[in-house]
Structure formats: structure tokens, C-alpha cells
């Protein structure tokens, strides 16, 4: 099956080309080209864009904007994005990270999408030509998005980003699950705000809302986090795949969430 590649210098023109049937946007291609190699004939034409803004990383103070074409390798080595390096390095091996983009990760089905889990905990904003959306809203309806994602934006958390990926093969393996958390603590050590995002616990990254709520006002001690761990699996519907069953993922989630919160 022949795949035609059309590259446009502007996002506007690429978006126009994406309106045609059988087209798909090409980021780093780790999922798109793989699908073509595996015989996916639903795509006959790939659309790319070389607009420079897509590859830009802009950090001003604690505000960060990352273009959708920025690769995991570029994030992992960026001196101002140390907080995200762990999540970027969680994606694939070195050769995958050299091409895997932020934009493509937003669309990666479970067990992929590790970096997006971090973006969800950061409450990132996802931009297209049409406007901006909170990442949670964007992910819920990502299938109906036909516009090119141009960038993601977020505020670097003062107390850091906690990130944990659990995989069977080290150092590079597909996720059993992954967890990202952004916590704020009051001077007395109690949690004043909690954003916890889970990967592989549904078909796409999701927030652990019940656990977030149960953490508020609690200290990060084994007793303090116990109520949050008890409800960690509320609302999950994990994938079952060759890496782990849905049952297993639910069983081990509280263990790993506990480790991340106490770390």
C-alpha cells in the first residue's frame, strides 16, 4: 500500500489538507508508520507540517509551552524541564524518544501515553488552531479531534511532579501502569491540593478524583494516605493486554500509588 506524504510549511495549510478522506497527521510516526507496516490501509495520505512553532519549547518563569512536534528526547535533555525528564524518558527506548512527539503521545492508546499522564497531572492546556481546551476535556473527546494540536501549555509545579512508571522489562518496557501526581502541601504538611493522573487504568489517561479528594487535609504518612489508597481504583476500567490483566492493574495500583505518595 502506497502512502503519500504531503508536508506543509504552515499548520493552516496542513489542517486544510487533513479535511480530505484517508488522511492522517504524521508526528514522529512511531504509531502511524507502524500501523502502515502492519497493513493498516485506512490511511492513504500522511500530512505533516514544518511550521517552526510546532518544534518550539518556550519557558518563561514557571510557564511552559511545548510545541506538539517536540520530541521526548528534546524534553528529556532540556535544562528547564528537569521536572518532566523522568516522564519523557519513560517513553520507549532512545530511538523511539528521538522521534516520538508530545502531540502523538496525546493520541496514543493504552498501554501507551505515559507522557500524557504527566501532562494530565499538570492540568495542561491543549491548543489547536480552533482554540484551547483543558487536557481532560481534550482527552475525553480526542477521537473527534481532527485539527492539528499545535502546543501544550502548563505551569511548572512549585513542589515538583511525582512520576512513576511500572513495567516488567527494565529500563524500557511497556507500562503495567503509570502514575503522575502534583501535590501542594500547607505549612503544617497537610495536602492542600492534589492532582493525580493514571495511565493504563482506562483506555486513555484518567484522573484519580476520589483519591485526590481523600488526600485533602491529610499528611503524607502511611495512615494519612490510607483513605486515598482505598479509593484509588474508583472509576477505573483498566486495559487487559499481554502485559497485565485489568484485575492485576487494579490490584497493584494502590501499592504503587502509596510508594509514589510516600517517596
Partner 1 sequence: MAKIPVQFTLNGAEKAEFFDSGTTLLNALRDKIGDTSPKGGCHQGTCGACSVIIDGELRLSCLTLAETCNGAAITTTSGLSQGGVLHPLQRAFLDAFATQCGFCTPGMIMAAKVLLDHTPDPSRDDVVEALSGNICRCTGYEPIIQAVLTAARSNSQNAA
Ligand X SMILES: Cc1cc2nc3c(=O)[nH]c(=O)nc-3n(C[C@H](O)[C@H](O)[C@H](O)COP(=O)(O)OP(=O)(O)OC[C@H]3O[C@@H](n4cnc5c(N)ncnc54)[C@H](O)[C@@H]3O)c2cc1C
Among 86, 172, 213, 219, binds partner 1 (CB under 8 A): 172
**Least distance from ligand X to the Cβ atom of residue 81, Å:** 16
The residue from 114, 154, 204, 257 that contacts ligand X (CB under 6 A) is 114
Site string for ligand X, 166-195 (x = CB under 6 A): --------x---------------------
Q: Which does 149 bind (CB under 5 to 8 A by kind): ligand X, partner 1, none?
A: ligand X
113 binds ligand X (CB under 6 A): yes
Q: Which is nearer to partner 1, 88 or 228 (CB)?
A: 88
- The answer to whether 200 contacts ligand X (rule: CB under 6 A) is no
Radius of gyration of the CA atoms of the chain, in A: 19
- Answer for which of 15, 23, 30, 49 binds partner 1 (CB under 8 A) is 30
Show contacts with ligand X in window 10-49 (CB under 6 A): 24-32, 34
Note the residues at the interface with ligand X (CB under 6 A). Answer: 24-32, 34, 68, 91-92, 96, 99-101, 103-105, 107-108, 112-115, 148-149, 174
Amino acid at each position: 500500500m502506497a502512502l503519500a506524504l504531503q508536508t506543509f510549511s504552515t499548520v493552516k495549510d496542513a489542517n486544510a489538507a487533513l479535511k480530505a478522506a484517508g488522511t492522517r497527521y504524521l508526528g514522529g510516526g512511531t504509531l502511524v508508520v507502524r500501523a502502515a507496516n502492519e497493513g493498516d490501509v485506512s490511511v492513504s495520505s500522511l500530512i505533516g507540517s514544518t511550521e517552526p512553532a510546532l518544534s518550539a519549547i518556550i519557558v518563561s518563569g514557571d510557564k511552559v509551552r511545548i510545541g506538539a512536534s517536540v520530541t521526548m528526547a528534546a524534553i528529556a535533555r532540556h535544562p528547564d524541564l528537569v521536572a518532566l525528564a523522568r516522564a519523557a524518558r519513560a517513553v520507549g527506548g532512545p530511538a523511539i524518544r528521538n522521534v516520538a512527539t508530545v502531540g502523538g503521545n496525546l493520541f496514543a492508546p493504552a498501554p501507551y501515553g505515559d507522557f500524557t499522564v504527566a501532562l494530565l497531572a499538570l492540568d495542561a492546556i491543549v491548543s489547536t488552531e480552533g482554540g484551547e481546551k483543558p487536557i481532560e476535556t481534550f482527552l475525553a473527546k480526542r477521537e473527534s479531534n481532527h485539527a492539528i494540536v499545535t502546543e501544550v501549555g502548563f505551569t511548572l509545579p512549585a513542589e515538583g511532579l511525582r512520576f512513576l512508571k511500572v513495567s516488567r522489562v527494565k529500563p524500557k518496557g511497556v507500562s503495567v501502569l503509570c502514575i503522575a501526581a502534583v501535590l501542594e502541601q500547607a505549612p503544617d504538611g497537610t495536602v492542600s491540593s492534589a492532582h493525580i493522573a493514571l495511565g493504563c487504568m482506562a483506555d486513555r489517561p484518567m484522573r484519580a478524583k476520589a483519591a485526590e479528594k481523600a488526600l485533602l487535609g491529610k499528611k503524607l504518612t502511611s495512615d494519612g494516605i490510607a483513605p486515598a489508597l482505598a479509593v484509588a481504583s474508583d472509576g477505573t476500567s483498566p486495559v487487559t493486554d499481554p502485559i497485565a490483566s485489568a484485575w492485576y492493574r487494579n490490584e497493584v495500583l494502590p501499592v504503587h500509588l502509596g510508594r509514589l505518595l510516600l517517596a
